[in-house]
Amino acid sequence: MRAPRLLLLLALITSAITPHLHAADATGLSVATAQTYRGWKDAIILRNGLVEAVIVPSLGRVMQFRFVGETDGPFWENEKLFGQPMPADPWKAAHGSFGGDKTWPAPQSLWNWPPPDIFDRTAVNASVSSDRSVTLVSETSPRFGLRTIRRITLDRGAPVMHISTTYQKAAGDPLAVSVWIITQLREPVASFLPVPLDSKFPTGLAPQWSAPAGAMQRHGDLLRFVRDPKKSYKVGNDAAAIIWVGERHVLRISTDRLAGADYPDGGCIAEFYANADPVPYVEHETVGPLKTLRPGDSVSATNHYVLARRSSKDPVADARALLTPKK
């Protein structure tokens, strides 16, 4: 997107979202708009009394998910870009881009690198509904004819966030695509992939990837990963969940596993990426089913995020505690 066009879009967002607090309803849900966060002045803070989601429309993403009253959460945020406007290529401006939670089209072979046009490097239009949900709508991708719609909600009375992501095909040739969600997270004590009883992968992992020596351990039906400071790597399998365990918090990200659906990356649904030094972050990723879209068609996938505090000194025990949370 050219700079004047981006500035115009930012101006429209700023004028549309004037400072306002949508008073909490009887269940404690509230939305505050036009908030200042890390130097950005268009943040939207969605709260339910227990947790809050920090959404920055000018960056096109959810930047943080944390307990109310805390200044940090599991999501990794790139300090090098705090308060900065969206550059033409954020990955060149700073490795890792801005961080947070965003969407790219899968499979990656559609575009290779860097993420194309509207994905990861443009502002979005934001709106707040009467039910205290926030919806982010992108422009249409010139390359793929896709528009993204992301609806963010919080459960009432539980530390749970849901993000429903839809790709709408507005123009162009038919395209086989799936919804890919990338959540960049701070370096964990460990991350875990469950191994489904009916996994299609004999070792529990997709064969096209492997972890460096010492970076993976198996604990029964759980695969445990740590970041390797010297080598970036990626793994994945057909589980519908992935768990991050930090020093103080545990985060479970899950999606809906559809039997018989065609998934990219050899059938992966959950994927883990660890970035090497000097930028210490990991990515917990989910991939939705592939669908061939023609103009007028759409495909959707929903992620469920459950946040908890550590209750054990054993990260395996804390991971298992979140394997079957209420959605």
Tell me if 270 is assigned to some domain.
Answer: yes
Tell me if 326 is assigned to some domain.
Answer: no
Average per-residue pLDDT for the chain: 92
Separation between Cα atoms, residue 79 and residue 326, nearest integer Å: 33
Output the domain CATH number for residue 243.
2.70.98.10
Tell me if 327 is assigned to some domain.
Answer: no
- Of 324, 183, 307, give the one whose Cα is nearest residue 249: 307
pTM metric for this prediction: 0.92
Q: Which domain holds residue 34?
A: 3-321
Q: What is the pLDDT of residue 325?
A: 52
Tell me if 70 is assigned to some domain.
Answer: yes
Tell me if 36 is assigned to some domain.
Answer: yes
Instruction: Give per-residue pLDDT as tens, 159-178.
Output: 999 999 999 999 999 999 99
Instruction: Identify whether the C-beta of residue 152 lies closer than 8 Å to the C-beta of residue 43.
Output: no
- Of 299, 204, 302, 318, give the one whose Cα is nearest residue 252: 318
Mean per-residue pLDDT, 21-39: 82
Tell me if 94 is assigned to some domain.
Answer: yes
Instruction: Identify whether the C-beta of residue 83 lies closer than 8 Å to the C-beta of residue 43.
Output: no
Mean per-residue pLDDT, 132-153: 98
Tell me if 56 is assigned to some domain.
Answer: yes
State the total domains in the chain.
1
